[in-house]
Structure 1
């Protein structure tokens, strides 16, 4: 299972997809990963930073959506003031 987490004032919004179902062409799984990629691109355009999280490994910053990632966390741009 893959998961996209978008941090916000409410905590985080989550979208999940099943990579195995994507490989079999399941329409719901394909739609979920397309929506995750759309959100990823939208948030990156706003200045968010993305990280790939894999249990037991260091967090890795990414610039492109990876549907095979176990978990992607998007952190919005922090505005000081």
Structure 2
């Protein structure tokens, strides 16, 4: 497991890698944290659901899912 600081540089580098590598070669699981608090968990990234904590307001989740062209449901 690798832990990386979330930054625009990180995602720019991932985007560059994605130009020449298949998605499974980039990462398998993506988890974002704010300190010890989970912000996002994406197991089997690119092929499975994204889990967000209930502390994220529904309005933000709705906007995020629309930006991705996806639907969401509260579970």
Shorter-chain TM range is under 0.3
Instruction: Report the TM-score when normalising by structure 1.
Output: 0.25
Larger strand share, 1 or 2: 1
Work out which structure has the larger RCO, using CA pairs closer than 8 Å and 6 or more positions apart in sequence: 1
Q: Which has the higher helix share?
A: 2
**Normalization by structure 2: what TM-score?**
0.26
